[in-house]
Amino acid sequence: ELKVEQNPLFLSMQEGKNYTIYCNYSTTSDRLYWYRQDPGKSLESLFVLLSNGAVKQEGRLMASLDTKARLSTLHITAAVHDLSATYFCAVEYNNNDMRFGAGTRLTVKP
């Protein structure tokens, strides 16, 4: 059974600091996604990672994938308040089934 574990589940950061969110999964997958969700809103696609060693960056966020370790990371650089949201990783396997982690609720404080 595919399991997707994120940690931490809650993260409170000071503005300007760096931190990393981890996503571990249990079974070989086709691709891995990172999504952002603001309170009461829908999900916004941030990154799609397709292969081992893939690294993608957008602004202060950088995502990486290690398929051998079954680990993806979302690194936050010099956090700002606008990054406060819940971040989900999701792992797709069998080309149809996408399983989500429980989410990391990030709060960036001034």
Partner 1 sequence: NAGVTQTPKFQVLKTGQSMTLQCAQDMNHEYMSWYRQDPGMGLRLIHYSVGAGITDQGEVPNGYNVSRSTTEDFPLRLLSAAPSQTSVYFCASSSQMNTGERDYGYTFGSGTRLTVV
Binding site for partner 1 (CB under 8 A): 4, 9, 31, 33, 35, 41-48, 50, 88, 90, 95-103
Q: What's the closest the beta carbon of residue 110 comes to partner 1, in angstroms?
A: 27
Q: What's the closest the beta carbon of residue 79 comes to partner 1, in angstroms?
A: 22
In the complex with partner 1, the residue whose CB is nearer, 19 or 100, is 100
Q: How far is CA 109 from CA 9, 12, 83, 101, 105, in A?
A: 17, 7, 10, 24, 13
Q: What's the closest the beta carbon of residue 103 comes to partner 1, in angstroms?
A: 5
Q: Is 51 left (phi over 0), alpha (psi -120 to 50) or beta?
A: beta
Q: How far is CA 33 from CA 15, 45, 80, in A?
A: 25, 7, 22
In the complex with partner 1, the residue whose CB is nearer, 33 or 83, is 33
In the complex with partner 1, the residue whose CB is nearer, 15 or 97, is 97
Tokens 């709060």 sit at which residue? Answer: 107
